[in-house]
Amino acid sequence: MFAGKRILLGIGGGIAVYRVAELARLLVRHGASVRCVMTPAACRFVTPLTFESLTGEQVYTEMFDLTAEREMGHIRLARWADAVVIAPATADLLAKIANGISDHLLTTILQVREGPVLLAPAMNTSMWQSPATVRNIEILRERGMHVVGPEHGELACGEEGQGRLSEPEAILVALRPLVSEPYLAGQRWIINAGPTWEPWDEVRFLSNRAGGNLGLALAETVAAHGAEIHLVAGPSVPASSTFVSRHDVITTGEMFDACRTLAENADVFVATAAVGDFRFAHRIEGKHKRAGQQTLQVELVATPDIVATVAAMDKRPRRVIAFAAETADHVAHARGKLQDKGVDAIFANDIGNMGSAEAGGWWINRQSTETIERRPKEQLAEVLIQSIRELDA
């Protein structure tokens, strides 16, 4: 996700600093080169050795460390980074950055920083909502800095409210567009994801075990590369970032209506959702009672074919991509669907991928079939985007 990217992690002095260690670990795990700058207050919570161990790099703490200044001065550190992340961004640190106070190494670096900066605030709710902090955030946003969080939850002081440091994974999602190539800028993509639920009564429904993780990963990756992205999300699809325009639906009919409207004149429509092919012909009010029954017959009727309908629209998207989850003869079944549904390409995969963190399969278009090895879904999303782009090559 961050392979080859250089991230400067500025660590403020707050109790949430212990969660920043996980952020550093995740950045390294995703291929980033990470250098840390700790404020004097941060060093009172966690030792620099913690972050040196996680990143394999020297941690910078002192403005007047002559050896460090000679080898990597504050201006060189500011210019070295593809992006700077400040976590936790305390109320004190935000105030200093907003008002140009340079009283330690990190605030001095931010005085000369010209590239992307992501702030991850963490503090008590009262401090976050104070007029001074609200104004400081406005100033920093006006300067082009980006903010992720804070989240609502239990705080270190025992209170509950907004002020909790965003989860490390959420910070990564917010950081990704700041360091990704915006080669999809100006495009509009529509992606559907997850299962649909077809109610039988007010308790039971017909569905499947899809989680929508690949569709979500694809949407976040498309957003990271600069496209306008609309995600039509079925129930159980995990939360998405603010970079994604999300449209939550429940039934296949609702997903059909949303996709058909949003897909008009789009650049790309990708149907990753495990849509229910049938719904109950008659929905029961209340809860059906067993009442001694040993057998039960219900009537099902077909639901609309979303991807085939989108592919046949007068204002059809420039590219329409289908997904097919199969149990056997994956490529043969997918090739049949490619013709029947009128799509430009189809990604075939095994139903065993549902709900897992990894997936692989076959990329099939009218000219060829390519095997895509199993890999984390975030990486698979990048591969699929490149495959879609190659359709125009």
Q: Do 251 and 339 share a domain, yes or no?
A: yes
- Assign residue 325 the CATH number of its domain: 3.40.50.10300
Q: Do 15 and 161 share a domain, yes or no?
A: yes
Q: Do 40 and 155 share a domain, yes or no?
A: yes
Q: Do 161 and 195 share a domain, yes or no?
A: no
| 157 assigned to active site | yes
Domain count, the chain: 2
pLDDT digits (tens, 9 = 90+) for 339-385: 899 999 999 988 887 777 889 999 999 889 999 999 989 889 999 99
Supply the Cα-derived Rg of the chain in whole angstroms. 25
What backbone phi and psi angles, to 5 degrees, belong to 270? Answer: -120, 120
Q: Do 175 and 226 share a domain, yes or no?
A: no
Q: What are the helix (H) ranges across 241-329?
A: 252-262, 306-311
Note the pLDDT of residue 294: 86
Q: What is the rounded CA–CA span in Å between residue 386 and residue 130?
A: 46
CA angle, 265 then 372 then 351, to 5°: 85
What backbone phi and psi angles, to 5 degrees, belong to 37? Answer: -120, 120
Order of strands, sheet of 33-38, starting from the edge strand that comes earlier in the sequence = 59-60, 33-38, 6-11, 83-89, 117-121, 146-147
Q: Do 376 and 317 share a domain, yes or no?
A: yes
In a domain, 327, yes or no: yes
Whether a cis peptide bond, with omega within 30° of 0, leads into 199 is: no
Note the pLDDT of residue 357: 83
Phi-psi region of 272 (alpha: psi -120 to 50; beta: other; left: phi over 0): alpha
Query: What are the C-alpha distances in Å from 103 to residues 12, 20, 70, 93, 97?
Result: 13, 22, 19, 10, 10
Q: Do 320 and 173 share a domain, yes or no?
A: no
Other Cβ atoms closer than 10 A to 268: 24
Domain boundary among the residues 158, 179, 200 is at 179
Range of the domain at 173: 6-179
In a domain, 382, yes or no: yes
In a domain, 371, yes or no: yes
Q: What is the rounded CA–CA span in Å between residue 77 and residue 69?
A: 10
Q: Do 303 and 328 share a domain, yes or no?
A: yes
- The gap between the terminal CA atoms of the chain, to the nearest Å, is 24
Q: What is the rounded CA–CA span in Å between residue 113 and residue 110?
A: 5
Note the pLDDT of residue 161: 81
Instruction: Locate 352 and state its tokens.
Output: 């065993």
In this prediction, the residues of the chain whose per-residue pLDDT falls under 50 are none
Q: What is the rounded CA–CA span in Å between residue 385 and residue 392?
A: 12
Q: Shortest CA distance to 217 belongs to which of 47, 88, 51, 376? A: 376
Note the pLDDT of residue 72: 55
Q: What is the rounded CA–CA span in Å between residue 198 and residue 205?
A: 5
**Candidates 36, 43, 157, 259; catalytic one:** 157
Q: Do 16 and 132 share a domain, yes or no?
A: yes
In a domain, 1, yes or no: no
Q: What is the rounded CA–CA span in Å between residue 271 and residue 90?
A: 42
Q: Do 136 and 248 share a domain, yes or no?
A: no
